[in-house]
Structure 1
Amino acid sequence: MSVREAMERSLNGSKIILRFNEELQVVGDGAGLLSGILGALGSDYSKFPICEKSWAKVRGKDRVYDDCIKDRSGLIKKSFLKQMGKSWKNTRGRLFDSHYKPTRTLEQNLEQRPKGIPREHWKWFIEYRNDPATKAKCKQNALNRKKQLYTHTGGSKSLARAREEKEKIYEIEQLDESTRILSENDSLAQALGKEHPGRVRGMGHGPTPSQLFRPSLQPLVDRAQVEETQRMLCELQAEVTTEKLKRKAMEDELAAEKNKRQEIESVLSYLVKQQCGEPPPDIAARINSLDRHGGT
């Protein structure tokens, strides 16, 4: 389903159910669709006017959110609005670069404004972008971006979705080691779903399913590509294993700390009883409080 189809269906009362992980991050196929919808909403300047200095000052965000997202708890609202704000900011930057030309007069630039943006809103935005303070800020932001050492190279797929897919691949291969071998039903195909026609996931451009998977004594695909794919699968598996080990180590450390605290509480309780018999009410209340916290 495309973003346009999803938004049209929502107007007719249809809803898309999203799946979340333990950190309340959207995962699964719906995550990609949601990202596109939030991007489309953020770049809709009939809903969010372009004539504001920052996303924080834009009005009407709560109304648009409540109309499109059914979130009774409100736990995910902040992150969703942040995604819309990023789209709002990035899109208006692209609109300025593509529709404004410094060689034109103001009147000519107003006539070339983007479709759907009122004339007075576009005029405000042009004046804001040409303000010396705004130019200095844009220049500084460009310099800051150049200082970034690492960038996200996973495409439009979020880190939460990528992590879930890695775990799913690992679980599939643990149940059946033969799925590690490149095939039409390998672990990648089972975890990520059917690939686009004419493509083989993990092989790049060139090899087709009919070439790669048809019975033949002579392989038609460069063996180096197959080995590279196998290497990538092994790396994915190693990353998932490392994450599981880290999580297990943290759980073991918390359990050891809990046992240590309970032992200290037992010794304190014993010493109080030896010295005073039954502990005074205030001391007993504090020990009971420690017991309750130790059990959580």
Structure 2
Amino acid sequence: FDFSEQWFLFFPNLIKYKEKESRFCLLKWFQHQSKDSGSKKNEGKELKMVAPQDKSSKKMKFASSSAETEPTSQTTISDDSKTGRGMSTMPRVVKRKLQKLRPIVEYNKRGKGIGQAHSEMQSHIGVLARSRVPLVDKKWSQIPKDIKEQIWEAADMAFVVGQGGKNSVLSSAAKKWKDFKSTLTRHYILPYTNDKEKLSQPPETYKFIEKAQWDAFVASRLSKDFESVHSQHAQIREKLEYNHRLSRKGYAGLEDQLEETMPGVEIDRSTLWKRARQDKHGNIPDPKVAEKAKLIDELQKQVSEGKVSVYGSNDVLTMALGPEHPGRVRGVGAGISPRQYFNLPKPQRVSFDDRLKESLRVLLQEETKKMEAKAREEALRMEARTKQLVEAEREHFLSQLSQLIPNFDPSMLKPRISQSPKNPMSDKASCSGGD
């Protein structure tokens, strides 16, 4: 027999070892190929984020990148009652910084950030606000400017911020720093007001907090002043009737999502308001919100049928919820003014000379009115004085006549009103009339 073909019949153990070794080598080769292809995909994905893209390419980018992005690092939380992910550190942003790749943040037509790059930038700003701003019981306006400048420079190095600019980054950092202090207060301080041991050390999740800062922050949160402020804010929070169920994407992200799933359909703020209060199954658990959502559906139907007309700020949502608060627009998110959303005409800027001329014109009109009123008052006073003098002279004249003429009757000097006789032809027909 041919030994080269039948050798495995005499060495069964050897063939098992060879098969095992072959499978191991094949597995290692496949993993190596997958790693290379994955790195190429990630490289292409990151390069795509730097280049400008249109609407269709944006869908492909965000749809594929959600499964390919690196998982966020997690840390263990000391509180056993609190479960979930730990503090985000955004390692992929740091990695892209080293590679000098800056994703471009995209914005919608109203200037609100959308897309994955914007979401990652917001997470990165949150990391910067937590780690670089000291944990102090102060307002954001009291934080040193050099710390704010560091946050802006770090965000600008990691992302192409675009039209949002420095103000939007620092505004977001201010809100996230405030939310971070609120999270610490609600989850790590107020539940343990009677447990001094729990409050003696910073949470393990946020080990970067210095103990001196933590002790001072805990003392400020347990003070009587903060208790009063906390109670006032809790009362204000209870007055909110129609709470939304949006995640961090906000109204801008919801509108961007609806534009992808509902192409060609005009999405107004009443639709956004209603969808923002639905759960993941499309239901509205709150009865009050459900009642308003039903009213919105009825009004939208009447508008489509031409029975109800909308114009300016008097749209479907205003009809359903009532007039807007001054300077605010519901259903579109924060930072959108009524003039920006409803395209109201902007007040024209007036130069200093024009303002000065207008002020002088108004002042001259006021002075003219005062002078005219004073002149009328003086004329009335002079007229009354003249009447008094005339009446006095008349009485004096009549008294002299009474002394000179016996049996003088003053009524003889009163003017007689002569009445013209009626025209005898007035009741008759005109002679020149026709037959």
Q: TM-score, normalised by structure 2?
A: 0.37
Q: Could you tell me which amino acid in structure 2 is paired with residue 145 of structure 1?
A: R
Give the equivalent residue in structure 2 for 1:76: 165
Task: Verify the 8 A CA contact 1:24 1:76 in the aligned structure 2.
Answer: no
Aligned-residue CA RMSD in angstroms?
3.9
| Alpha-carbon distance change, 68 to 203 in structure 1, aligned in 2, over 3 angstroms | closer
Q: Could you tell me which amino acid in structure 1 is paired with residue 181 of structure 2?
A: R
Residue 144 of structure 1 pairs with residue 230 of structure 2: no
Give the equivalent residue in structure 1 for 2:175: 86
Structure 1 unpaired stretches of 5+: 175-201, 205-234, 258-296
Residue 115 of structure 1 pairs with residue 207 of structure 2: yes
Task: Verify the 8 A CA contact 2:103 2:117 in the aligned structure 1.
Answer: yes
| Alpha-carbon distance change, 157 to 73 in structure 1, aligned in 2, over 3 angstroms | closer
Structure showing greater radius of gyration is: 2
Residue 96 of structure 1 pairs with residue 182 of structure 2: no
Q: Distance in 1 between matches of 2:209 and 2:220?
A: 15
Residue 49 of structure 1 pairs with residue 49 of structure 2: no
Give the equivalent residue in structure 1 for 2:405: none
| Alpha-carbon distance change, 19 to 75 in structure 1, aligned in 2, over 3 angstroms | closer
- Structure 1 stretch 48-57 or stretch 164-173: which is displaced more? 164-173
C-alpha displacement at 1:73, in angstroms? 7.4
Q: Could you tell me which amino acid in structure 2 is paired with residue 147 of structure 1?
A: K
Q: Distance in 2 between matches of 1:135 and 1:141?
A: 10
Q: Distance in 2 between matches of 1:173 and 1:75?
A: 27
1:180-201 Cα deviation digits (max 9, x unpaired): xxxxxxxxxxxxxxxxxxxxxx
Task: Verify the 8 A CA contact 1:19 1:27 in the aligned structure 2.
Answer: yes
Structure 2 unpaired stretches of 5+: 1-68, 73-89, 267-278, 282-296, 305-309, 316-338, 346-435
C-alpha displacement at 1:75, in angstroms? 4.5
**Secondary structure of the structure 2 residue equivalent to 1:171:** coil
Give the equivalent residue in structure 2 for 1:230: none
**Which of structure 1's runs of 4+ aligned residues deviate more than 4 A?**
70-75
Residue 132 of structure 1 pairs with residue 221 of structure 2: no
Q: TM-score, normalised by structure 1?
A: 0.52
Q: Could you tell me which amino acid in structure 2 is paired with residue 109 of structure 1?
A: L
**Secondary structure of the structure 1 residue equivalent to 2:236:** helix
Q: Whose RCO is larger (CA < 8 A, sep 6+)?
A: 1
Give the equivalent residue in structure 1 for 2:95: 9
1:143-179 Cα deviation digits (max 9, x unpaired): 11111122232222221222233334443689xxxxx
1:101-154 Cα deviation digits (max 9, x unpaired): 32244x763335541111111121112112211111111111111111222322
How many percent identity over aligned positions?
17
Task: Verify the 8 A CA contact 2:106 2:117 in the aligned structure 1.
Answer: yes
Q: Distance in 2 between matches of 1:246 and 1:166?
A: 23
- Choose from 59, 65, 76 the match for 2:152: 65
Task: Verify the 8 A CA contact 1:52 1:58 in the aligned structure 2.
Answer: no
Task: Verify the 8 A CA contact 1:19 1:30 in the aligned structure 2.
Answer: yes
**What does 1:1-296 align with in structure 2 at a 5 Å threshold?**
1=69, 4-12=90-98, 13-44=100-131, 47-59=132-144, 60-69=147-156, 75-100=164-189, 101-105=192-196, 109-113=199-203, 114-171=206-263
How many residues are aligned here? Answer: 188
1:249-283 Cα deviation digits (max 9, x unpaired): 99xx99xx9xxxxxxxxxxxxxxxxxxxxxxxxxx
